[in-house]
Amino acid sequence: EGMAFVDTVFKGVPTAPDHDLIPTAIFTQPEMGTIGLSEAEAEAKENVHVYTTSFKSMREGFGGVEERVFMKLIVSQETDKVLGCHIVAPHAGEMIQLAGIAVKMGATKADFDRTVAVHPTMAEELVTMRNPTRSS
């Protein structure tokens, strides 16, 4: 909103704020991050594939932390577009910010699949989920 104000008032370029697809994070223990549609919201609009993973990360495990990670991608069956991404994990805020760029740009599940995973990271799971957990 601040940049839209600056562009409109000071640069003379009328710009409306873009409130579509804003990544959000809750900085609890563990953190939660989300962008886009929830599974229920997406299913109310169209048929979707849901990809999920839950695991104990190597990074946290080596440090003696017993926290598990959960990730979910909501994908349009018709277009393959990633409609939502949800993460519960240490540093979920960092991961959802980057996932937000891809979702905002209209990335497809195939785009995620073509991305080389950085190993060993928690975020690599976002690009290695190959089979839907369920479909509607």
Q: Whole domain around residue 41: which residue ranges?
A: 20-135
pLDDT in tens, 44-68: 999 999 999 999 887 666 667 778 9
Single out the catalytic residue among 19, 49, 86, 119.
Answer: 119
Q: Residue 11 domain-assigned?
A: no
- CATH number of the domain where residue 46 is located: 3.30.390.30
Number of domains in the chain: 1
119 given a catalytic annotation: yes
- Asked whether residue 21 carries a pLDDT value surpassing 90, the answer given is yes
Residue 14 lies in a domain: no
- Tell whether 102 is covered by a domain: yes
Region 84-102: what's the mean pLDDT?
97
Report which secondary-structure segment, H or E, holds 39: helix 39-45
The model's pLDDT over 106-119, given as tens digits with 9 standing for 90+, comes to: 999 999 999 999 99
The answer to whether residue 4 sits within a structural domain is no
Q: With respect to residue 58, please indicate whether it lies within any of the assigned structural domains.
A: yes
